[in-house]
């Protein structure tokens, strides 16, 4: 799931001695160990600050996003030849995490705007911010700050009425309606932090 970490463990205990480990994703080498040094090639930009390779060959990927889904291959060069290990990774979109957060309540009159402010202390520039609405946790807004992309809005009932501030994570709802009443949740994940917050909005 987006924001989670995964460790790919090839279990190389049966190999007595190897002299080169190369992890690949879509062709290019993203991490390698030559028996002395561990390195992460510079062209693996989509994995910036996310990878941790151990001398055992296991690879941990932190703060995963859907773009990290795919086939990972480990090539092990050892005294008897070459061995390949493959791992197929699927990263799904972030689910609602309302159960992890204290719920803030607010009330307002229909037609007035409301801004749902996050209490996250700091954004580091690589956050994925996901807003959801309703008990079912339907996705309504998302922005990937690291990708420098514009916010995306998903729910037709809020068409042209949502504004997600990528600098703060705040979500503003304009021209509010009574049908906008309900539970809102936000999840903010990065390489350094995970943050969840929930709001119950009553519009009359």
Q: Are residues 111 and 80 in the same domain?
A: no
Indicate the number of domains in the chain. Answer: 2
Q: What is the DSSP string of 33-52?
A: E-SS-EE--TT-GGGTTTEE
| Pairing of β 194-203 and β 103-108 | parallel
Q: For the domain that residue 164 is a member of, what is the CATH number?
A: 2.60.40.10
What are the φ/ψ torsions at residue 45 (nearest 5 degrees)?
-65, -35
Q: Are residues 58 and 109 in the same domain?
A: no
Q: Is residue 42 part of a domain?
A: yes
pLDDT at res. 3? 73
pLDDT at res. 23? 93
Mean pLDDT of 9-19: 76
Mean pLDDT of 118-125: 86
pLDDT at res. 114? 96
Which of 34, 58, 89 marks a domain boundary?
89
CA dist 65 and 57 (Å) reads 22
Q: Are residues 102 and 180 in the same domain?
A: yes
**Residue 203: is its pLDDT beyond 70?**
yes
Which of 29, 57, 89 marks a domain boundary?
89
Q: Is residue 21 part of a domain?
A: yes
Q: Are residues 163 and 192 in the same domain?
A: yes
Q: Are residues 84 and 102 in the same domain?
A: no
Q: Is residue 1 part of a domain?
A: no
pTM of the entire structure? 0.65
CA dist 60 and 114 (Å) reads 40
CA dist 149 and 140 (Å) reads 16
Cα dihedral 68, 72, 77, 82 in deg (nearest 10): -160
pLDDT at res. 41? 84
* 84-116 pLDDT tens trace: 889 999 887 665 554 556 788 999 999 999 999
Q: Are residues 144 and 165 in the same domain?
A: yes
* 39-69 pLDDT tens trace: 998 666 788 888 999 988 899 998 888 788 8
Share of the chain above pLDDT 70, in %: 92
Three-state secondary structure of 52-121: EECCCCCEEECCCCHHHCEEEEEEEEECCEEEEEEEEECCCCCCCCHHHCCEEEEEECCCCCEEECCCCC
- Please list, in sequence order, all residues whose beta carbon lies within 8 angstroms of the beta carbon of residue 160, skipping any fewer than 6 positions away: none
Q: Are residues 114 and 186 in the same domain?
A: yes
Which of 43, 70, 89 marks a domain boundary?
89
Q: Are residues 127 and 172 in the same domain?
A: yes
DSSP reduced 3-state for 179: helix
DSSP reduced 3-state for 157: helix
Q: Are residues 57 and 105 in the same domain?
A: no
- 174 touches 164 (CB < 8 A): no
Q: Are residues 49 and 132 in the same domain?
A: no
CA 84-89-94 angle, 5° bins:
165
**Residue 15: is its pLDDT beyond 60?**
yes
Q: Are residues 143 and 190 in the same domain?
A: yes
Residue 142 domain boundaries? 98-203
């Amino acid at each position: 799931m987006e924001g989670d970490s995964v460790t790919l463990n090839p279990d190389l205990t049966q190999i007595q001695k190897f002299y080169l480990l190369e992890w690949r994703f879509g062709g290019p080498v993203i991490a390698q160990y030559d028996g002395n040094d561990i390195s992460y090639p510079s062209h693996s930009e989509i994995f910036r600050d996310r990878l941790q390779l151990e001398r055992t060959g296991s690879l941990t990927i932190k703060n995963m996003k859907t773009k990290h889904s795919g086939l990972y291959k480990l090539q092990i060069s050892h005294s008897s030849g070459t061995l390949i290990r493959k791992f197929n990774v699927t990263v799904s979109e972030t689910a609602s995490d309302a159960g992890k957060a204290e719920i803030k309540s607010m009330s307002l009159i229909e037609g007035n705007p409301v801004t749902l402010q996050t209490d996250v202390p700091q954004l580091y520039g690589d956050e994925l911010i996901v807003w959801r609405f309703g008990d079912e946790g339907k996705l309504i807004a998302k922005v990937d700050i690291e990708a420098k992309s514009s916010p995306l809005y998903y729910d037709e009932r809020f068409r042209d009425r949502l504004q997600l501030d990528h600098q703060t994570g705040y979500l503003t709802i304009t021209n509010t309606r009574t049908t906008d009443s309900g539970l809102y949740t936000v999840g903010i994940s990065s390489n350094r932090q995970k943050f969840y917050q929930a709001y119950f909005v009553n519009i009359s």
